[in-house]
Amino acid sequence: MVVVNPGAVAAFGATEAVASLQPIVWHEPRDSYDVVIVGGGGHGLATAYYLATRHGITNVAVVEADYIASGNTGRNTTIIRANYAIPEAIRFYDHSMKLYEGLEAETGAAIFHRKKGHVWLAHSEMGMRTERARVLMNQAMGVNTELLGPAGVKALVPQIDLTGGGRYPVFGASHHVEAATARHDRVAWAYASGATSRGVHVIQHRPVTGLLRDGPGGRVLGVQTAAGPIHAGIVLSAVGGRVSQLAAMARVRLPVRTHPLHAFVTNDFEQGLAKIVASTELACYVSQTERGQMLIGAEFDSQPSFSRLSSFDALRSYAYKITRLLPFLRSMRILRTWAGLCDISADFSPIMGETGVDGFLITTGWGTWGFKAIPAGGEALAERIATGRTPALIAPFGLDRFRNELAMADQASAGTR
């Protein structure tokens, strides 16, 4: 008896993956901390990590409703890039990208960080105008992004159908050379491991149900949970798509709406798609994971909702769109689909820092684009908490910008994560 084609054992398998895990330490919770961070997603955990490592502040708890990275951090399509269109955003994301590049060395954790390059296709003159503007602004900010014609696109992505299925001809693209991907939950775990090993507490399965306040309108003094109150010198909300609910507990209203965003993966294939390929007009994108899956996403649902159920309308339109560009995907089978809840801000940029309520800070507006921002967002908020001063890097992204008519409008950059 012969086994049909015994497959080559993958070079990096489950055993290697497990061997590369860094331990997370679970502590017995206390009832008071200097800092309580609500939300154990990437932003909450990174803030805790940088508080501990950069500022020596370890009397910190991250309070998570479910398990860590159960929110968007464990659901995203893992694209890390800085090819935004406005200088403030480019500077911020470029810094985050650099922190990502050093994260494995800094934490010793394997996050499967891979530089790939992000090819952002345009299918019309107006699309090219957007990509050209992006390239010029990126280059002026020292970010390595180049403009490609159709032949340049074909050279980087040989599988592309330059006719876009006969419907979406490829006029060209911007190519952001430094763009990368990293395994999402491993980023959260790297921070959780680094933080908890220094004494930070991560408390799972403890939804925050209210805020403790020093009288109505007074300073926030901690959080309420089903298992009792936890007192805090400062509370940071880092709750992803649930931010309107948490902010409402502090009577803060935000220009943020929660919209579901879907994604799906195929089964594993040999490596063969080197680039992250995206299209603004089609609002879809794909990259190949370290396992060899094709990871595909598109635009968020236009209807706001808190549902994380998968949607067939999303699946079929994502599948339709991406196969216009890369017809080889047509015969690949879909392994799994899922959705996350995105905190979409009015101007498609993040909101970090003060809320107008003493003792209560936020990090939100991460929408469909905040995975790449985890290191820089966490680092900046840690600095804000530790020093009481808002770092220049994030100053343009304060909540007060809406009142002051200083929106950081960058919709064309948020479109494809």
Ligand X SMILES: Cc1cc2nc3c(=O)[nH]c(=O)nc-3n(C[C@H](O)[C@H](O)[C@H](O)COP(=O)(O)OP(=O)(O)OC[C@H]3O[C@@H](n4cnc5c(N)ncnc54)[C@H](O)[C@@H]3O)c2cc1C
Site for ligand X in 272-311 (CB under 6 A): 297
Q: What is the 3-class SS of 116-149, one letter each residue?
A: CCEEEEECCHHHHHHHHHHHHHHHHCCCCEEEEC
Query: Of other proteins, ligand X, none, which one does residue 244 interact with (CB within 5 to 8 Å by kind)?
Result: none
Q: Is 125 in the site for other proteins (CB under 8 A)?
A: yes
94 within 8 A of 146, measured Cβ to Cβ = no
The footprint of ligand X on residues 16-55 (CB under 6 A) is 38-44
The packing angle between helices 374-387 and 42-55, to 10°, is 50
Smallest distance, Å, CB 179 to ligand X?
10
The footprint of ligand X on residues 129-148 (CB under 6 A) is none
Q: Is 304 in the site for other proteins (CB under 8 A)?
A: no
The footprint of ligand X on residues 173-192 (CB under 6 A) is none
Smallest distance, Å, CB 359 to other proteins?
28
Write the interaction track for other proteins spanning residues 341-380; mark x where CB under 8 A is met and - where it is not. Answer: -----xx---------------------------------
Phi, psi for residue 57 in degrees, rounded to 5: -95, 110
Smallest distance, Å, CB 19 to ligand X?
26
128 Cβ neighbours under 8 A, 6+ residues apart: 122, 171, 172
What is the distance between the terminal CA atoms of the chain, rounded to a whole angstrom? 50
The footprint of other proteins on residues 18-77 (CB under 8 A) is 18-19, 21-26, 67-68, 70, 74
C-alpha span between 225 and 203 (Å, rounded): 11
The footprint of other proteins on residues 128-157 (CB under 8 A) is 129-130, 132-134, 136-137, 140-141
87 within 8 A of 137, measured Cβ to Cβ = yes
- By CB under 6 A, name the one of 134, 201, 213, 242 that touches ligand X: 242
- By CB under 8 A, name the one of 165, 207, 229, 304 that touches other proteins: 165
Burial readout 2-29 (b: 16 or more C-beta within 10 A, e: otherwise)? eeeeeeeeeeeeeeeeeeeebebeeeeb
The footprint of ligand X on residues 307-346 (CB under 6 A) is 340, 342
Smallest distance, Å, CB 235 to other proteins?
25
Smallest distance, Å, CB 169 to ligand X?
26
371 within 8 A of 73, measured Cβ to Cβ = yes
Strand 180-181 relative to strand 79-80: parallel, antiparallel, unpaired? antiparallel
The footprint of other proteins on residues 312-331 (CB under 8 A) is 312, 315-317, 319-324, 327-331
Query: Of ligand X, other proteins, none, which one does residue 384 interact with (CB within 5 to 8 Å by kind)?
Result: none
CB nearer to ligand X: give 75 or 291: 75
CB nearer to other proteins: give 85 or 232: 85
For 176, the token pair is 């952001």
The vertex-166 CA angle with 316 and 298, nearest 5°, equals 35
For 163, the token pair is 């006719």
CB nearer to other proteins: give 32 or 317: 317
C-alpha span between 354 and 359 (Å, rounded): 9
Strand 230-237 relative to strand 351-354: parallel, antiparallel, unpaired? unpaired
Query: Of ligand X, other proteins, none, which one does residue 266 interact with (CB within 5 to 8 Å by kind)?
Result: other proteins
**Across-strand partners of 286?**
277, 296
SS3 190: helix
Sign of the CA dihedral running 340, 344, 350, 355:
negative
Q: Which stretch binds ligand X (CB under 6 A): 3-11, 57-65, 144-152, 158-166?
A: 57-65
Q: Is 256 in the site for other proteins (CB under 8 A)?
A: no
Query: Of ligand X, other proteins, none, which one does residue 93 interact with (CB within 5 to 8 Å by kind)?
Result: none
For 167, the token pair is 């419907």
398 membership: H or E segment, kind and range? none
Q: Which residues of the shown chain bind ligand X in the complex (CB under 6 A)?
A: 38-44, 63-66, 70-73, 75-79, 207-208, 238-242, 246, 261, 263, 297, 340, 342, 366-372, 417
